[in-house]
Structure 1
Amino acid sequence: MKPGALLSMLGPSTSLQRRLIFASVVGVTLALCGAAVSIGAVLHRFVRGQLDGRLDERIVSLVSDVRGDADGRLALRRDLEVPPFDHLRSGWYWEVRRGDAVLRSASLGGADLAVPAGPAGDDRPAPADGMGPFGDRLILRVLTVPGRLGEAATVFVASAPASALYGPVLEALRTLGLCMALIGALLVVAVLVQVRVGLRPLRRLLEQLGEVRAGLRERIPAEQPLEVRPLVGEINALLDQNAANLAHARGHVANLAHGLKTPLATLAMAFGSTGSSPDARLAGLIEDMDRRIRHHLRRARAAALSGPVRTKVNLAGVVEDLVMVLGRLHAGKGVVFETEVLAGLGVACDRQDVEEMLGNLVENACRWCAGLVRVSARREDSSVVVMIEDDGPGLAPGDRSAVLQRGRRLDESEPGDGFGLPIALELAELYGGSIELEVSSLGGLAIRLVLPG
């Protein structure tokens, strides 16, 4: 199976670090296996060359020492029974054959080597591997010397056991295998180190993105490795585009607020001058509308001036102030507050927005609770989760999405305009957060507010 096919099995969602390590391990394994096969082939050829040279030397000695008499018999001028050709059935054999005349090494024990004659006239021995007379595999070298006028050709044969070739090769391969395993382990360790060092810029980029999301910086620094620079450029371009869109939207808010201020002021003057009771009530509503528009206009201006970089808001301080104010407002109901917010836990939001979100949510819990409201907060990764719970009647699953719609109220008998939860949701989403309604462990409703930390 090809490495590409193996990588495709990992799937697109697999860890990049895992893919790199897997590809490197496969590559190292294939390279080491290829190296082992190549070295094994070289060793086989080297040892075979040594054996062939040794057998050829024996054949050359036989050619120079064998003589024939007038009766056609063969004889040696000197004794050639030297180790290892003197050990019976050792595989180290030699034999000289001319017609019916035969000379053999003592190691053959009178048996014959069934070897076909090589090509006559060749001045170098040729390989002719086969089986020996005792069923053992032999490495054979054969030289056929043509006879003189009227004489038969003389065949010289020398052999060595196959174990003389494969034994040293296998022993060398075992040692080579241990060395290859050690080299492979060192290469895998080097790959792990290389991958961790190579992916370090991506981890640093992730931290910088978290800082951008938390409002600690406006853009990602351009000083990045060459391969990451195009990605950083695209991210910064997206951040610039979002900032431009946000500034454009804030400009529209400011323009809308400015456009409504004059008509509202005119209406306030008109209804205020009449002095009648209904008109006075309408004048109060108009004044309230004017106050809200001025508030959002100031916030839009402040946000436009401060840009996307935001400071941390101490969540514990905001919760403490809200509990104190709402406790007094609902003193007649006897609401008890439980707070579990660590000191120093902050959110990257405008303080006024945090106060408005938590104020709406905690006020809603106070309105519907039986007597207990719990506010807790904890950090989860780069976000802060705030839980507002009460021991009231809660909400049915089908009603939880309805109360997040603007102006939607499930109980018209209770005071309110139905805008508290939707406004809190809108503000949370502006900061990349969310609001979810769940069942509280106290028995009532639990509001899960997620904000950037």
Structure 2
Amino acid sequence: MIRSLRVRLMLAAALLALLFMLALLPALQKAFSLALQESIEQRLASDVTTLISAARIEHGQLQMPELLPDERFNLPYTGLIGYIFDRQGNLVWRSRATRDRHINYSPRYDGRGNEFARIRQDDGEEFFVYDVEVKLLGGKSAAYSIVALQPVREYQHTLDGLREKLYLGFGAALLALLLLLWGGLTWGLRSLRRLSVELDQVESGARDGLSLEHPRELLRLTGSLNRLLHSEREQRQRYRDSLDDLAHSLKTPLAVLQGVGESMGQGSGEREQARVLQSQIERMSQQIDYQLQRASLRKSGLVRHRVLLLPLLESLCSTLAKVYRDKRVAISLEVPAQAEVPMEQGALLELLGNLLENAYRLCLGQVRVSLNEREGQLLLCIEDDGPGVPADQRERILQRGERLDRQHPGQGIGLAVVKDIIDSYDAQLSLDDSPLGGAAFTLRFKRD
């Protein structure tokens, strides 16, 4: 399937131009043929006029001079063929070019004056014939048919030459037309290219919407896209504001309940109930944080971001090194300096923060982050030398966002956020064994 609009239009225009020329060629050939036959008829009429002007009637007999005014009749190999027949169809004179050939022709003395025709001999050779009936010669009564002939092969040779030149001319014209069409389409589709550039800028976040400096036919499209962008931003903002309001409205009652639970926990008989109450309050708080993170990390459907990876990793690792300074984790960053990841910065920060925090927390002393490109995909791998994840638990963890370490509460929420981010960016997350000895989380991003 041809995906280029310019190539499609070019092929359609080329096909129409070719069909038009193929339809025009027979008409032009017919016109050339008729014009050439008319020219031959005029020439043969001129030859007959030369014979008539040279003929004389003496004593009732036709007399032709030995040398005719037109020298071509006097030479045997010029191909100028002339005959004179009497009323009974008897040949009374012939030009010198006919001495070595026999042309089977019988004149029609039927009172029509003159006739232009095409005859065919038994051997397949064809001739054009111009036959004029004469009743007066030199002012005297006479009845003769004066005939001039020309071989059709000369006409056919000329017509073939014209046809060849016509094909070459049409071919050159078609090529020139295609070049002009390509240039015209390139100029005409320039506005679409400009629109594509603006869309790329919108996707990259360089501009908020499309400009109005486009052809009239595209203004409705650009207006619709701008309204869609504006509506999407407003909807996302309303969604975030509503969740923020909900979170703030719940935080205060939760804080009160937590304080009540702590007060209840001071009594010996109510410690178990207080522990249950504290657990449920903590769970509710985590769910609120989780839903807020999901709302803030969803990418826009029209905006495409790219973030430099190495500075983000260095910042996160520097922070985690302070948090886990007692472990003295050796971090290895095998990432090109200019490498970019097709994600929004906040989403990438949340994703890497959760995965790196897990790696720092579970490792024995070594963490490695690497970025490679393979088969049109970016592979971002985070490895550690910790205990790893049992093979029978990997699918459950990735599918449901279960906790990797049940000794530390709340980590299932982080992995669930990671999974949501990965799904929203059409990426893939896999969990394998690392050559370091622990777990290897691999993120696969499609290259734009």
Q: Would the TM-score normalized by the shorter structure come out above 0.5?
A: yes
Q: Say which SS state the counterpart of residue 228 (structure 1) adopts.
A: helix
- State how far apart, in whole Å, the 2-side matches of 1:400 and 1:114 are: 103
- Verify the 8 A CA contact 2:202 2:208 in the aligned structure 1: yes
Matched, 1:166 2:156: yes
Instruction: Judge conservation of contact 1:92–1:161 (CA < 8 Å) in 2.
Output: no
Q: Which amino acid aligns with 2:242?
A: H
2:243 is aligned to 253
- Decide which of 291, 313, 323 is 1:319's aligned counterpart: 313
1:251/1:152 CA distance change after superposition, 3 Å: same
Shift of 1:129: 1.0
Instruction: Give distance in 1, aligned partners of 2:91 and 2:174.
Output: 59
- The DSSP-based 3-state class of the residue aligned with 1:157 is strand
Deviation at 1:451, TM superposition (A): 9.4
Moved more, 171-180 or 55-64: 171-180
Change over 3 Å in CA distance of 1:61–1:87 after alignment to 2 = closer
Contact 1:143 1:157 in 2 (8 A): yes
Residue 89 of structure 1, CA deviation: 6.2
Deviation, 1:158, is 0.6
* TM-superposition CA deviations, 1:145-191 (whole Å, max 9, x none): 4699xx99522211112233233333344444444433333322222
The answer to whether structure 1 residue 66 and structure 2 residue 55 are counterparts is yes
Asked if residue 183 in structure 1 is aligned to residue 173 in structure 2, the reply is: yes
How far residue 372 of structure 1 moved from its aligned partner, in angstroms, is 5.1
Q: Name whichever of 439-448 and 191-200 sits farther off.
A: 439-448
Q: Which residue of 2 aligns with 1:337?
A: 332
Residue 84 of structure 1 corresponds to 72
Matches within 5 A, 1:129-140: 129-131=118-120, 136-140=125-129
Alignment correspondent of 1:434: 427
Matched, 1:419 2:413: yes
Q: Match of 2:443?
A: 448
Q: Is the 8 A contact 2:54 2:65 kept in 1?
A: yes
- The C-alpha deviation readout for 1:296-329, integer Å capped at 9, x for no partner, is 76997999xxxx9999765322211222333452
Counterpart contact for 1:386–1:449, Cα < 8 Å? yes
CA contact (8 A) 2:431 2:442 kept: yes
1:436 aligned partner, one-letter code: L
Q: 1:18 to 1:168 in 2, by over 3 A?
A: same
Corresponding letter in the other structure for 2:383: D
* 1:92–1:160 Cα contact (<8 Å) kept: yes
CA distance in 2 between counterparts of 1:134 and 1:407 reads 97
For the pair 1:57 / 2:51, whether they are aligned, the reply is: no
> Is structure 2 residue 378 aligned with structure 1 residue 388?
no
Q: Using the TM superposition, give the Cα deviation of residue 59 of structure 1 relative to its aligned residue in structure 2, in angstroms.
A: 1.5
The question of whether the paired residues in 2 share the 8 Å contact of 1:147 and 1:153 is answered with yes
Check conservation: 2:117, 2:130, Cα contact below 8 A: yes
CA root-mean-square deviation: 4.4
Instruction: Report the alpha carbon displacement of residue 104 of structure 1 after superposing the two structures with TM.
Output: 0.8
The DSSP-based 3-state class of the residue aligned with 1:120 is coil
Q: CA deviation at 1:102?
A: 2.0
Residue 122 of structure 1, aligned match among 112, 121, 125: 112
The runs of 5 or more residues in structure 1 that have no matched partner are 1-10
Structure 1 counterpart of 2:82, which letter? W
Aligned-residue offset at 1:194: 2.3
Shift of 1:287: 6.6
Q: Which moved more, 1:405-414 or 1:44-53?
A: 405-414
Alignment TM-score, normalising by the size of structure 1:
0.76
Gaps of 5+ in 2: none
1:110–1:287: structure 2 CA closer, same or farther, 3 Å change rule? closer
- Counterpart Cα distance in 1 of 2:46 and 2:410: 113
> Using the alignment, how far apart are the partners of 1:152 and 1:310 within structure 2?
101
- Matched residue of 1:102: which SS? strand
Query: What pairs with 1:273-288 in structure 2 (closer than 5 Å)?
Result: 273-276=263-266, 279=274, 283=278, 286=281
Q: Equivalent of 2:224, from 225, 234, 246?
A: 234
Partner Cα distance (1:128, 1:410) in 2: 103
Distance 1:373 1:30, change over 3 A: farther
**In 2, distance between residues paired with 1:15 and 1:369?**
51
Distance, in Å, in 2 between the alignment partners of 1:132 and 1:311 is 85
Given the alignment, which residue of 205, 211, 215 partners 2:201?
A: 211
Q: Are 2:260 and 1:266 aligned?
A: no
Aligned 8 A contact 1:254 1:300 in 2: no
Q: Which moved more, 1:210-219 or 1:26-35?
A: 26-35
1:139 to 1:391, Cα distance in 2 relative to 1, 3 A: farther
Aligned to 2:46, the other structure's residue is in SS state helix
Structure-2 residue corresponding to 1:201 = 191
2:353 is the counterpart of 1:359: yes
Normalization by structure 2: what TM-score? 0.76
Deviation at 1:347, TM superposition (A): 6.3
Letter in 1 for 2:335: E
Letter matched to residue 337 of structure 1: S
Contact 1:73–1:101, Cα closer than 8 Å, also in 2: no
Contact persistence 1:438–1:448 (CA under 8 A):
no
The equivalent residue for 2:130 is 141
Using a 3 Å threshold, how does the CA distance of structure 1 residues 19 and 190 change in structure 2: closer, same or farther?
Answer: same
- The match for 1:42 is 31
